[in-house]
C-alpha cells in the first residue's frame, strides 16, 4: 500500500512494524488534531503538548505534523520489527533494563535514539510529570478520521488507545534513516559508510544507539511541589465577590483522579456558588477554567466540549499548554494572575524557544533538514 502523509508525498507503508506487547495505562496515537468540526461538537484534540510532538518529529526527520504516540503515566512495551529511530519529548520516562527486569533506567529523551531490529523496549513510569510523546521515523500510519489520525476519546473517534497484542504500521524511511544516522554520528569511527541501517547498528553492542547531545528542557516547574499556573480573568470572574476572587488565587488545588483528556477536575475547599446566576452556553477553549455548582473548578483539556454553560472564571494563558499537559492526579497547583501583556510575551517566548530548538537540531544533524 501507499501512504499519503501531510507533505503530500507518497511512501510505502511498513505493515505491523511495531508489536504492542503491553499497552501501558493510556497510550494513544496523536498528531496535531483536527480543525473545522466545532459546529459538530468536536474540538481539535490531538497531542496535549503539540510542541513536544513537533520537536520529537523534527529530531527523527519527520514533518512536524506526523502522528506519534502520547504516553500517559506508564508506558507500553513495544517490539520493533525493523530498525528504527525514535525520540521522546515530554516528561522523563523509565525503561526496564534488558539485563535485569527489576532495574529501571532513564530513557535518553530529547535526542534521536536508533533501535536495532527485534529490540523490545519495556517503558516504565513517567517521572516529574504525567505524559511524554514518542515520534518514530516515518510516523505512525493509521486510518484518518475527519482529517486526523488522533484518537479523540471524548468524541469516540478512531481507535481510542493502543491495545495489547495489536500492531502499528509505519511509513517507510530506510534511506532517510540511514542519512539521519550518518549525520548524527559523522564524527564517530563506528559510523561506517554502509547504506544499510541494520549493518550500521550492528557495529554497536547496545540495543539503543544515541548521541551524547540532547535538546535541553527549559521548564523547571516540573519538579516543584506546587505548580503555579498563569491565568487571565475569565468573562465571568466578576460574578465572584472580592473575597471569593481572593480565595481562587490563595487556594492550593489538587488534580483529581477523575480527570482525563477532556478536563482537569480540581479538589480543595469548594468555592461558594449559590449566588451565581445562570448563563447561556458559550464557546470554550483548552485552558478555560469553569466553575460548576459544586464549587470545584474544572480546567478544560485538549478534548474539551466546544461550548459550556458554567461560568468561565479564568483562562489559562496559551503559553502554559505544556504545563497543563503534565498535570496528573495528585498534582498540586495554584493560579497566578498575570497581565495580558505578560501572556502575549510568554506565548511569543514559547514560539521562539521552539523555533530555536528546531534550528539547533538541524545544525546537529548536518544538512538533514526535514521538509
Which one of 152, 183, 217 terminates a domain? 217
pLDDT at 11: 54
* pLDDT higher at 291 or 366: 291
pLDDT reading at 282 higher than 70: yes
Q: For residues 177 and 175, what is the distance between their CA atoms, to the nearest angstrom?
A: 5
Task: Give the angle subtended at the CA of 68 by the CAs of 109 and 343, to the nearest 5°.
Answer: 75
Low-confidence winner among 71-80, 158-167, 270-279, 324-333 (lowest mean pLDDT)? 270-279
pLDDT at 82: 93
**260 and 204 share one domain:** no
Secondary structure letter of residue 122 according to DSSP:
E
**243 and 319 share one domain:** yes
**155 and 254 share one domain:** no
**57 and 69 share one domain:** yes
Neighbours of 218 (CB within 10 A): 10
pLDDT at 9: 41
* Banded pLDDT at 118 (limits 50, 70, 90): very high
Taking residues 186-215, what's their average pLDDT? 86
pLDDT digits (tens, 9 = 90+) for 127-155: 989 999 999 999 999 889 999 999 999 99
Percent residues over pLDDT 90 in the chain: 73
* Banded pLDDT at 177 (limits 50, 70, 90): confident
* pLDDT higher at 278 or 118: 118
pLDDT at 366: 59
* Banded pLDDT at 120 (limits 50, 70, 90): very high
Q: For residues 54 and 44, what is the distance between their CA atoms, to the nearest angstrom?
A: 16
pLDDT digits (tens, 9 = 90+) for 2-51: 333 333 344 567 877 899 999 999 999 999 999 889 888 899 999 999 99
* Banded pLDDT at 370 (limits 50, 70, 90): very low
pLDDT at 4: 35
pLDDT at 232: 99
pLDDT at 12: 67
Domain-located, residue 359: no
**255 and 210 share one domain:** no
**274 and 189 share one domain:** no
pLDDT at 159: 81
pLDDT reading at 66 higher than 80: yes
* Banded pLDDT at 217 (limits 50, 70, 90): confident
pLDDT at 172: 66
**73 and 187 share one domain:** yes
pLDDT at 97: 73
**236 and 323 share one domain:** yes
Q: Which residue has the cell 521548564?
A: 219
Domain-located, residue 288: yes
pLDDT digits (tens, 9 = 90+) for 90-102: 999 999 976 666 7
- DSSP letters of 193-220? S-S-HHHHHHTSSSSEE--S--PPP---
What's the CATH number where 260 sits? 2.40.100.10
| E strand spans, 243-300 | 253-255, 263-267, 282-283, 288-290, 298-300
Domain-located, residue 252: yes
Q: For residues 53 and 342, what is the distance between their CA atoms, to the nearest angstrom?
A: 25
pLDDT at 26: 97
Domain-located, residue 362: no
Whole-model pTM: value is 0.92
Contact 66, 6 (CB under 8 A): yes
Q: For residues 167 and 163, what is the distance between their CA atoms, to the nearest angstrom?
A: 9
Which one of 217, 242, 262 terminates a domain? 217
pLDDT digits (tens, 9 = 90+) for 348-363: 999 999 999 999 999 8
* pLDDT higher at 255 or 179: 255
pLDDT at 187: 66
**58 and 175 share one domain:** yes
pLDDT reading at 264 higher than 80: yes
**120 and 234 share one domain:** no
Taking residues 98-127, what's their average pLDDT? 91
Domain-located, residue 25: yes
**226 and 212 share one domain:** no
1, 18, 177 from 292: Cα distances, Å? 49, 43, 50
pLDDT at 6: 35
Q: Which residues contact 202 (CB under 8 A, 6 or more apart)?
A: 116
Domain-located, residue 168: yes
pLDDT at 14: 82
**82 and 142 share one domain:** yes
Taking residues 342-347, what's their average pLDDT? 98
Which one of 172, 194, 217 terminates a domain? 217
How many folded domains does the chain comprise? 2
Average pLDDT, the chain: 90
Question: Domain residues for 23?
Answer: 2-217
Amino acid at each position: 500500500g501507499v501512504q499519503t502523509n501531510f507533505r503530500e508525498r507518497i511512501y510505502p507503508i511498513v505493515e505491523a512494524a511495531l508489536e504492542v506487547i503491553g499497552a501501558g495505562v493510556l497510550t494513544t496515537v496523536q498528531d496535531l488534531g483536527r480543525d473545522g468540526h466545532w459546529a459538530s461538537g468536536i474540538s481539535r484534540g490531538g497531542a496535549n503538548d503539540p510542541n513536544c510532538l513537533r520537536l520529537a518529529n523534527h529530531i527523527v526527520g519527520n514533518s512536524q505534523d506526523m502522528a506519534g504516540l502520547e504516553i500517559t503515566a506508564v508506558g507500553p512495551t513495544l517490539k520493533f520489527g525493523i530498525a528504527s529511530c525514535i525520540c521522546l519529548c515530554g516528561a522523563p520516562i523509565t525503561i526496564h533494563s534488558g539485563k535485569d527486569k527489576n532495574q529501571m533506567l532513564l530513557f535518553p529523551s530529547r535526542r534521536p535514539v536508533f533501535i536495532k531490529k527485534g529490540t523490545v523496549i519495556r517503558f516504565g513510569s513517567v517521572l516529574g510529570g504525567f505524559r511524554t510523546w514518542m515520534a518514530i521515523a516515518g510516523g505512525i500510519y493509521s486510518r484518518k478520521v475527519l482529517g486526523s489520525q488522533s484518537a479523540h476519546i471524548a468524541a469516540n473517534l478512531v481507535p481510542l488507545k493502543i491495545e495489547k497484542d495489536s500492531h502499528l504500521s509505519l511509513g517507510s524511511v530506510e534511506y532517510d534513516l540511514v542519512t539521519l544516522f550518518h549525520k548524527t554520528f559523522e564524527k564517530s569511527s563506528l559510523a561506517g559508510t554502509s547504506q544499510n541501517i541494520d549493518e550500521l547498528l550492528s557495529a554497536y553492542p547496545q540495543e539503543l544507539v544515541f548521541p551524547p547531545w540532547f535538546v535541553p528542557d527549559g521548564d523547571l516547574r516540573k519538579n516543584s511541589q506546587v505548580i503555579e499556573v498563569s491565568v487571565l480573568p475569565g468573562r465571568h470572574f466578576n460574578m465572584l465577590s472580592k473575597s471569593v476572587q481572593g480565595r481562587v488565587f490563595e487556594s492550593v488545588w489538587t488534580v483529581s483522579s477523575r480527570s482525563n483528556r477532556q478536563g482537569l477536575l480540581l479538589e480543595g475547599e469548594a468555592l461558594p456558588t449559590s449566588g451565581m446566576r445562570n448563563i447561556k452556553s458559550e464557546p470554550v477553549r483548552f485552558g478555560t477554567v469553569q466553575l460548576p455548582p459544586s464549587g470545584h473548578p474544572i480546567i478544560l483539556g485538549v478534548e474539551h466540549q466546544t461550548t459550556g454553560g458554567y461560568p468561565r472564571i479564568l483562562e489559562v494563558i496559551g503559553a502554559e499548554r505544556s504545563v497543563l499537559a503534565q498535570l496528573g492526579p495528585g498534582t498540586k497547583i495554584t493560579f497566578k494572575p498575570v497581565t495580558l501583556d505578560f501572556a502575549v510575551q510568554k506565548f511569543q517566548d514559547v514560539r521562539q524557544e521552539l523555533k530555536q530548538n528546531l534550528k539547533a537540531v538541524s545544525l546537529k544533524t548536518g544538512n538533514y533538514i526535514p521538509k
